Structure 1
Amino acid sequence: MLMWLRMAPALHLIFLLIIHRVSAADWGVNYSPTQFCALQNSTMTIRCTFTYPTTGYQVMKAFWNIDQVRYDGDFVDLSHNSEYSQRLQYLGDKQQNCTVRLSHVTKKDEHDYYFRITTNVTKGIWIGIPGVSLDIMCVLCSDLQLESPERVTEGDSVRLTCKSSCKLTDTPTFIWYRNSHTLTNIGDKLNISSVSRREAGHYSCGVQGQTYISPAVYLDVTYAPDTPVISISGSAVIMSGDSVTLICSSDSNPLAEISWYKGETSVGSGRIFNISKISSDDSGEYKCRARNDHGEKYSDPVNLDVQYPPRSISVSISGSAVIMSGDSVTLSCSSDSNPPAEINWFKGNKYLNSERIFSISKISSDDSEDIKCRARNAHGEKYSVAVILNAQCEFMMVQ
């Protein structure tokens, strides 16, 4: 650092003697750093050392000054300034250390700072030129920026970096936030070795002890679909003619494309699959597939069991077309229904039995009354057309 020496005119001869006996290298002030960038309300420490000829010289006063401000021709001691007296702490001595600390710095503190000493030899002023410049420009929120990838895939390694547009002299302690909640991570970099979907969100960074934070950046974590799950709206029992809605749900990012299958046949697409008037033909196993750029998954199948009352009931007769007295005759009752119907046989209005097959071992003229079957389940019942065997043991169907 350069040294300025200011002398009163009457002291010119003394100054020449000093220069003759002492080399310029014997005087010096060293500031570290010379450009200071600090955060508002933070504390800055200017490290400073000085040298002077120890033989014949004694430092009488050591202090700091801003902008070479004078009063009555002399440099002003900054510690006497009411705006600095409570915040300025001289940490040095009168030997070599001239370090100073200034707390709660604000925009008003942007000045050039100089260290000054006076000795017992002359009334000259020794002051370190140039001084230390303090910059408080990086107090603005916009000066903190977060660098982050816009989109990552689950399982990737991710690094987020907090930067200031101004190079801070003292390295601050950076803290991190996700969705406005403080994280435990500290430092200008946030490393996530294997990112998960739970770590997606709005990230921002700030400086510990400060009130402002950087603008938030959204970290978008993409991933393949989870195994889809099908839900069925409506009653637990599906009746023919009902409206049935199937909903396929799968967590994925980006949103998955949904396709529907009945067995192996594609029947639709979209998250919701609706059958407005379901029939027995729609019974079967359904599944959905969720697919995006990262993979695909199929749901477990769900079975649509469409129920309905008995229909298409009929009686068939086994044996010869001509039935003779004494022959054995077997009648079979069939019915389309879901759930399967209970079968009952009647001769006229007389109940016979509850088997699907009704047998007459030796038919006679007594069996000439009409015989019919009834199919019944929880949803209804239906009778077959009556079978009439006449006395000649011929048979006919009547309504």
Structure 2
Amino acid sequence: MIENEYVDLKSDPQYDHRVKYECWSRSCTLTITDVRKSDSGVYRFRFISNHPDGKFTDGPGVTLSVTDDPDLHVKVNSVYGETCNKVIYTDRSICAVKESSVEISCTYNSYYRSITSKYWFRSNSSLQWQSPSRPQDLRTGRVQVHETTKGRSTLRISDVTETDSGQYGFTFRAGGFEWGRSLSGPSLTVTALQVQVNRVMAIDPSSVHVELKCQSSCRPRSSSYVWFQNGRQTESTTLYFTTRINSGDNFSCAFNGHENLRSPLVYAPKAPLLKMSPSGDIVMNSPVTLNCSSDANPAANYTWYRDSHPEFTHEGPQLVFSSIQSSDSGRFYCEAENQLGRRRSEFVSINVEYAPDVPSVSVVSSGEIVEGSSVTLTCSSDANPAANYTWYKEDEQAPKASGQNFTISDVRAEDGGKYSCEAQNSRGRRRSVIHVTVVTGWMKSAAAGSVSVVIVLLVFLVVFLWIRKKRFFQRTPGHVEVRCTKRQLNAGPEYEVPPAAAPRNPAAPQDDLFYASISFSKSQDEALYSNVRAAPLQRRGAEEEEDVEYTMVTAQGLGASSQPRRREAEEDSFALYSTVNKAQRA
């Protein structure tokens, strides 16, 4: 081989940053990373001494063939003869099922010195079963090291978990140097199988099918799948599994040959459980939280509902009232749902307690509250729990009665005054006041006299308005003619005053009398008479009489002749008399 054909790999652009030389004493190692197919070929080691002819190249060299395996890493040891320092791993990439056991093995050799120590380590974690600076014996617990033959070491890890995933390495010390620490060791991936719900197919309301997938981060070599439904192994060995589902069904999968290492079960939600915090009495304006939980895989989604309030919904496992109100009282429940089904919880009742509102007080009586009558006072207030009621009278410390109603059967004048009603429950108390007025005898008489005066005034007003109305027809044919005379004691044969209207004492002086005489034309069928006499002045002594006022209206028909008729024959059957008595003056 020509001298110029030897090229240092570090100076070759094709190997830029991909090669590394490591030499101790008389041993050197070439490491090539990120190998490519173009790296295939024969590699040789050459060294140059300080002697003019001190150049040496080994032969026949090492042949490297690069394949498509992405896990392949190449290490070439160039030494004198056929011996070298070496660490060679059996597997470059290992996939293990969670809770299984895994073995990582290697062969090693020291070129010319005896090995003084050796150990396994994790190159990508601070956790090392054997620290390079402090070797440890790991033949206890989950990690053990075995050497069945000279130059071969096996690391065994039992009951692996996801935290055991990582890259491992082996190194040894011989003489004054360490070998294998810088070499890339095998990687371990621990997979936990999961059943994934791909889709749910409803063929009809009574037939629902589901497609499941056995999910894992890696797959052991030459492994197929095993499916279980309700704990029984099925005939399916594929990655996907399709079956009809019923309420209460559960499913799991495993790798063939690892049937005892199954995935977690998948199933529809179990009956949800409700919890309320706080669990005791609920007081208005306090915080309240409802929690809903259900055993389900895949995890359930939660929806809250309120009984008799179909418009109320809330999403999430919690229903929170930051300041609960009386209007929030009611019964609540939740639904848990995943792709395999749904379940509803039992009801939880919220009863919000609060102090009484201001009481409403009223009086129940058949009329005026007069002496001797009966009266009932009623009190009501919105409260939870229901309020108790106590009645008090002003300026009295002792309660008068208890209960929502307070009845006074035989009312006396001293029963009048202010009464208060107190509504009380375990959350507080409130009061309201009402005034009771008792009507005595003299107050009742005064009220009756006032009513009589009002009636008299009304009667005079009616008569006055009726007379004024008739005056509109005085001077037109067929209308009424009105004549008024003063002190006319006898109105003539046609307008005689009935005996009842005559003065009681003819000898005594009389007040002026005023008569209104009304006559109609011959075409009129009836005549109306109104005789109004003012009450006589008050008399003293034996002749003193009550004031009497009379109003007499007599209606008589007019015949064809203008001759007067006798009272017995002429008097019509229609006569209206109104008599109003005024109260005597003191």
Partner of 2:313: 184
TM-superposed deviation, 1:113? 1.6
After superposition, the Cα gap between the structure-2 partners of 1:176 and 1:105, relative to the gap in structure 1 and judged at 3 Å, is same
Distance across 1 between alignment mates of 2:543 and 2:426 = 69
Residue pairs, 1:59-98, within 5 angstroms: 64-66=226-228, 69=233, 76-77=236-237, 85-86=242-243
Distance across 2 between alignment mates of 1:305 and 1:42 = 82
**What is the SS of the residue equivalent to 2:286?**
coil
After superposition, the Cα gap between the structure-2 partners of 1:68 and 1:217, relative to the gap in structure 1 and judged at 3 Å, is closer
After superposition, the Cα gap between the structure-2 partners of 1:212 and 1:372, relative to the gap in structure 1 and judged at 3 Å, is farther
TM-superposed deviation, 1:191? 1.0
TM-superposed deviation, 1:224? 1.2
**What is the SS of the residue equivalent to 2:391?**
strand
After superposition, the Cα gap between the structure-2 partners of 1:29 and 1:181, relative to the gap in structure 1 and judged at 3 Å, is farther
Contact 2:268 2:337 in 1 (8 A): no
In the alignment, does 2:403 pair up with 1:270?
Answer: yes
Partner of 1:31: 192
In the alignment, does 2:295 pair up with 1:295?
Answer: no
Partner of 2:254: 114
**What is the SS of the residue equivalent to 2:414?**
helix
Cα distance per residue 1:283-335 (max 9 Å; x no partner): 33322111223322112x33333345xx4xxxxxxxxxxxxxxxxxxxxxxx3
Cα distance per residue 1:6-65 (max 9 Å; x no partner): xxxxxxxxxxxxxxxxx997897723559x9xxx99998764222457xxxxx8x96552
Partner of 1:205: 334
In the alignment, does 2:305 pair up with 1:173?
Answer: no
Point out where structure 2 has 5 or more consecutive residues left out of the alignment.
Answer: 1-96, 103-154, 157-185, 198-207, 453-538, 547-582
After superposition, the Cα gap between the structure-2 partners of 1:134 and 1:208, relative to the gap in structure 1 and judged at 3 Å, is closer
In proportion to residue count, which structure has more strand?
1
**What is the SS of the residue equivalent to 2:362?**
strand
TM-superposed deviation, 1:241? 3.7
Q: Specify the code of the residue in structure 1 equivalent to 2:361.
A: I
Partner of 2:285: 155
TM-superposed deviation, 1:78? 6.2
TM-superposed deviation, 1:276? 2.4
Distance across 2 between alignment mates of 1:47 and 1:338 = 102
Distance across 1 between alignment mates of 2:542 and 2:334 = 95
Contact 1:3 1:29 in 2 (8 A): no
**What is the SS of the residue equivalent to 2:344?**
coil
After superposition, the Cα gap between the structure-2 partners of 1:43 and 1:219, relative to the gap in structure 1 and judged at 3 Å, is farther
Q: Specify the code of the residue in structure 1 equivalent to 2:242.
A: S
After superposition, the Cα gap between the structure-2 partners of 1:26 and 1:189, relative to the gap in structure 1 and judged at 3 Å, is same
Distance across 2 between alignment mates of 1:279 and 1:44 = 89
TM-superposed deviation, 1:229? 0.0
Residue pairs, 1:275-286, within 5 angstroms: 275-286=408-419
Contact 2:301 2:317 in 1 (8 A): yes
Query: Which one of 331, 350, 360 corresponds to residue 229 of structure 1?
Result: 360
In the alignment, does 2:218 pair up with 1:50?
Answer: yes
TM-superposed deviation, 1:216? 1.8
TM-score when normalising by structure 2: 0.38
**What is the SS of the residue equivalent to 1:287?**
strand
**What is the SS of the residue equivalent to 1:259?**
strand
After superposition, the Cα gap between the structure-2 partners of 1:115 and 1:254, relative to the gap in structure 1 and judged at 3 Å, is same
**What is the SS of the residue equivalent to 1:49?**
coil
Contact 1:28 1:128 in 2 (8 A): no
Distance across 2 between alignment mates of 1:45 and 1:369 = 127
TM-superposed deviation, 1:198? 0.8
Contact 1:146 1:216 in 2 (8 A): no
Q: Specify the code of the residue in structure 1 equivalent to 2:331.
A: H
After superposition, the Cα gap between the structure-2 partners of 1:145 and 1:336, relative to the gap in structure 1 and judged at 3 Å, is closer
Distance across 2 between alignment mates of 1:85 and 1:169 = 17
Q: Number of aligned residue pairs: give it.
A: 272
After superposition, the Cα gap between the structure-2 partners of 1:282 and 1:155, relative to the gap in structure 1 and judged at 3 Å, is same
